Chains A and B, each alone.
Chain A
């Protein structure tokens, strides 16, 4: 199993570099959670995806070390287990190819949307972005991106069905109750969290802090708006200070290096 997980991790890593243009100048790529869940089952699929996310955080500086836990939960656990559950509920065990591809499409789409919702919920609970702003934005955007993920998941399954149908049956007979427990836990956990957060009446300190200095919300008018000259100057000053700072850092770095020489 380990070599297959390894090659699938590398596959997902490489596949994520194949970008696809989406509406409005942004681009999306395959996340691969649902695909891994279908091919390997959720447990092994999750481990394979964990490897990808850890490697990206370390080597492409993509995702961040401190946010790794959240990323592993949202991009890893939620996509894999929800993809697995949706795939099987939508008839992924069916012998008819059309049904199989449809299940793959739904699994891919749902995995991204649920992952986005989970992320929006976490942002709301931690007080960074209010739910009524974050949820529609995240879920709406990913409902569109999810179409690509779904289509690609279905496309890869269709291709495999034509070329190497045996790979689709890798998981036959390996599904257990544990997988379903995982699915229930990981897909439901964010909502339970939401209900718990919603039921407590006490505003937590973070929310108070954010009420004092909101990231979102219409305060431009009182604050002078975009045209305010002193804010513009502030911004130019910030940019200049940053350039000077980076130059200083470079100079110190170079001085240290030259002093050591290239022995």
Chain B
């Protein structure tokens, strides 16, 4: 079944894709933090950040419709939180404008970041940055099992929807969902046991190797330098 939503465009090779994971983790986190530090109502700073976001979007070669789509998917929830603000008082108007700009900037940056970094690279970067090994390992397992489990969930949903017409009484609906979750759990357990045996028998030793890892090069230094000077220049 079709459901690739994690690092979907991470296999392109734009300049952003070629950066090492560590410098992207640091750079994008710094940019997002800087967006949140822009004082409310300072239009120039927001415009500069939007310009940077646009440049990053363009450089990344990810289809622009994809980035905008993902951003628009989340924005309604943000709007819901602040929709009443403009009618309160004048500060409310600035507040919702700021909220809107900050969240769309953060979303764009995060979408660009996760779609220019392969998951294995991201894990490697996190590990090199000193993230606890057990967390990195667990994220790795999550990533590996997720696609299989999502397949399983979609099959079960399809089976449920094709056998159930309309809505059932809440009690039965809940029981149905409980059984679905239970059998999903049992199936995942048994699959995990099999997979782990298979991994052990192929020499797995608590580590996920990365094929042809990106190296920290002059390009990364340039990227970090640009980010640092941009953030300093705009927020100063």
Contact = CB atoms under 8 A, between A and B. Distances in A.
Nearest to A55: B142
Contacts of B216: none
Given A3-B192, A242-B100, A255-B58, A148 B182 contact: no
Contacts of B195: 3
Contacts of A223: 87-89
Which size bracket describes the interface of B in this complex? 35 or more
Contact of B57 (A7, A228, A249): A249
B180 A256 contact: no
Interface string A37-60: 000000000011011101100111
Contacts of B167: 21
A51 B100 CA distance: 28
Interface in A137-157: 148, 151-152, 154-156
B186 A163 contact: yes
B174 A7 contact: no
Interface residues of A, number: 76
Interface string B174-186: 1101111111111
B58 A257 contact: yes
B50 interface: yes
A155 B173 CA distance: 12
A235 B92 CA distance: 11
Q: Would you call the interface of chain B mostly helix, strand, loop, or mixed?
A: helix
Contact of A155 (B89, B95, B179): B179
B110 to A, nearest CB: 5
B114 interface: yes
A9 B135 contact: no
B23 interface: no
B152 A260 contact: no
Interface string B130-151: 0000110111111111101110
B55 A253 contact: yes
Interface stretch (B29-37, B218-226, B227-235): B29-37
B120 interface: no
B137 A253 contact: no
Contacts of B6: 59
A60 B74 CA distance: 9
A235 to B, nearest CB: 5
B150 A14 contact: yes
Contact of A51 (B88, B92, B142): B142
A256 B14 CA distance: 12
B157 interface: yes
Most buried by B among A154, A220, A234, A249: A249
A2 B142 CA distance: 11
A90 B55 CA distance: 57
Given A51-B139, A54-B139, A231-B87, A159 B192 contact: no
19 contacts: A2-B134, A2-B141, A4-B189, A7-B141, A9-B145, A10-B149, A13-B146, A17-B153, A20-B174, A51-B139, A59-B5, A66-B32, A155-B182, A156-B178, A159-B178, A159-B185, A238-B97, A242-B100, A260-B58
Given A11-B149, A152-B174, 10 more contacts: A2-B134, A21-B173, A60-B5, A61-B70, A152-B177, A156-B181, A156-B185, A163-B186, A213-B95, A253-B57
Interface of B: 5-7, 14, 29, 32-33, 36, 50-51, 53-55, 57-59, 61, 64, 68, 70, 74, 85-89, 91-93, 95-97, 100, 104, 106-108, 110-111, 114, 122, 134-135, 137-146, 148-150, 152-153, 157, 167, 173-175, 177-186, 188-189, 191-192, 195-196, 199, 206
